[in-house]
Amino acid sequence: MSATSLALTGPQYGMWAAQRLDPDSPSLWTAEAVELDGELDLDALRAAVLETLRACDALHMRYREGEGGLVQGGLVQSGLVQSLDPARSVELPWIDVSAAADPWGEALAWMRDDLARRADLAQCPLFASTLIKLGPHRHLWHLRAHHIALDGFAYLLLIHRVAELYSAARGARAAAPARDWSLAPVVAEDAAYRQSPRCDQDRAFWVGRFAGAGEPVTLGPKCAPDDSARSLRRLLPAAKYQAWQSAARASGADWASWLVAAIAAWMHLRSGAREVALGLLVMNRLGSAALGVPCMAMNVVPLRIAIDPAQGFDVLVRGVAAELRALRPHQRYNYEWLRGDLGLADSHAQLYGPVLNLMPFDRGFVFDGLRSRAHPVSVGSVEDLDITVSPLPDGLRLDLEANPRAYPADVLAAHQAALLALLDAAIAMPQASLLALARQSGAAAAEAA
């Protein structure tokens, strides 16, 4: 490896391996759009976007394979390396759809078309940024990036920095010093972990947990993912979040454990399965070099949950909390390595059904003089079903993203209604058996329909 090239981190390798399964697929593009309402200072925004995106190493990497390579999790990375494109080119083209009959719909259609571009990790840019004019005082700043470069938290870091630079320019004041967004410390820390006894211990833990695991239960037929996902988004009242937290405390657990238990119960009630396997997205950033660096640092932790329909829901919550405590010390071991350990590499086989993404971090940001809001545009393709939960200042976001080949729109809507009914039933009857919750939530879902 040359002095100007770096190895890949485990999370990056997972995305590279997924792209390798279908090299021409655009399915690993992700995107967010920031809505900006008010008198926009175009020059200040352009300068803020260009400075921020140029500073982010992860957006300017190119990937290539060489000879030899590191063996990890039964996988040989074939000398796979990444190196910075010295040009660090950034553009912010302008698109005006304000004259359209439905500017918002026109912008969404444009963003969907933009996500259909072929990904080329060796030569083409890993991102694109565009400003879309919806009206005289309404704009969207759209950022598309390959999942090998950014995870959801990384998008937030970039948006915060753009807002900070924009606001400083508007206020004629100096912005905070530029961050060091070099990937080298992140890669070095990841390499040190791979060579540590802790990595071996984590591998043994996971292989012991999942060796011989059966096919995970899903609510739809097993089929290859599409290039895009079917989205069903819902903004619940902010009071729902407080209700979830109160219910969790009453059960002797945190709200994440309570929510995971509710989703496991929902899976059981929709499928009849006595064991549910969920994928839990974890950031792995606290205490690491990646804490303030926009990059791909996310991992998926597979979670097996045994279901007893006769037990009280509060018992299930405490059982889930205990399992999460057991998994937490080992969550750095990359999921793609585990798939290699278990002989599942180079396939779409998974160890879990639905994926749960809890986003409790602050998603607020301020563009001086503007009303702003981030809109998720695409999480990329979805193997089965992704559930995203994010507390926001004005409500509680609960989104379902599904493989459209497995979940028709009406089926996905029915699943969402059943999940919301079960969450309400679990609050109202925290000690009830799952059988009792099924009757309560079934009646509520039928009434809502």
Residues 363-418 pLDDT 10s: 678 999 999 998 889 888 888 999 999 888 788 899 999 999 999 999 999 999 99
H-type helices in 382-433, by residue range? 409-428
- Verify that 127 and 214 share a domain, yes or no: no
Q: What is the pLDDT of residues 165-207, one digit of tens each?
A: 999 999 999 999 988 999 999 999 999 999 999 999 999 999 9
- Domain membership of residue 187 (yes or no) is no
Q: What is the DSSP string of 101-151?
A: SSHHHHHHHHHHHHTTSPP-TTTS-SEEEEEEEEETTEEEEEEEEETTT--
Question: 327 and 303 in contact (C-beta within 8 Å)?
Answer: yes
- Domain membership of residue 189 (yes or no) is no
The percentage of the chain sitting over the pLDDT mark of 90, rounded to a whole number, equals 75
Name the more confident of 224 and 388. Answer: 388
Which domain covers residue 293, as residue numbers? 196-448
Average pLDDT estimate for 322-341: 94
Question: 427 and 248 in contact (C-beta within 8 Å)?
Answer: no
- Verify that 156 and 202 share a domain, yes or no: no
Name the more confident of 259 and 287. Answer: 259
- Interatomic CA distance for residues 306 and 276, integer angstroms: 7
The count of structural domains within the chain is 2
Q: Which of 156, 182, 208 is the last residue of a domain?
A: 182
Q: What is the pLDDT of residues 12-66, one digit of tens each?
A: 998 998 898 888 889 999 999 999 999 999 999 999 999 999 999 999 999 998 6
Question: 432 and 312 in contact (C-beta within 8 Å)?
Answer: yes
- Domain membership of residue 389 (yes or no) is yes
- Domain membership of residue 190 (yes or no) is no
The percentage of the chain sitting over the pLDDT mark of 70, rounded to a whole number, equals 94
- Verify that 340 and 440 share a domain, yes or no: yes
- Interatomic CA distance for residues 214 and 132, integer angstroms: 47
pLDDT number for residue 214: 84
- Interatomic CA distance for residues 390 and 373, integer angstroms: 14
- Verify that 150 and 201 share a domain, yes or no: no
Q: Domain holding 322: CATH number?
A: 3.30.559.30
pLDDT for 2 beyond 60: no
Q: Which of 149, 182, 215 is the last residue of a domain?
A: 182
- Domain membership of residue 255 (yes or no) is yes
- Domain membership of residue 188 (yes or no) is no
Going by C-alpha positions, the residue among 229, 277, 237 that lies closest to residue 400 is: 229
- Verify that 229 and 378 share a domain, yes or no: yes
- Interatomic CA distance for residues 353 and 218, integer angstroms: 5
pLDDT for 445 beyond 60: no
Lookup: tokens for 310 = 């006769």
Quick one: residue 73, left, alpha or beta (phi over 0 = left, psi -120 to 50 = alpha)?
A: left
pLDDT for 341 beyond 90: yes
- Domain membership of residue 55 (yes or no) is yes
- Verify that 158 and 13 share a domain, yes or no: yes
Q: What is the pLDDT of residues 274-285, one digit of tens each?
A: 999 999 999 888
- Verify that 31 and 171 share a domain, yes or no: yes
The CA-CA-CA angle for residues 291, 293, 297, to 5°, reads 70
pLDDT number for residue 71: 46
DSSP 232: E
- Verify that 88 and 226 share a domain, yes or no: no
pLDDT for 119 beyond 60: yes
Q: Domain holding 37: CATH number?
A: 3.30.559.10
- Verify that 21 and 103 share a domain, yes or no: yes
- CA torsion, ordered 286, 288, 289, 295, to nearest 10 deg: -60
Q: Looking up tokens 């655009």, which residue turns up?
A: 26
Pairing of strands 71-72, 75-76: antiparallel
- Domain membership of residue 191 (yes or no) is no
- Verify that 258 and 385 share a domain, yes or no: yes
- Verify that 250 and 355 share a domain, yes or no: yes
Mean pLDDT score of the chain: 90
- Verify that 282 and 408 share a domain, yes or no: yes
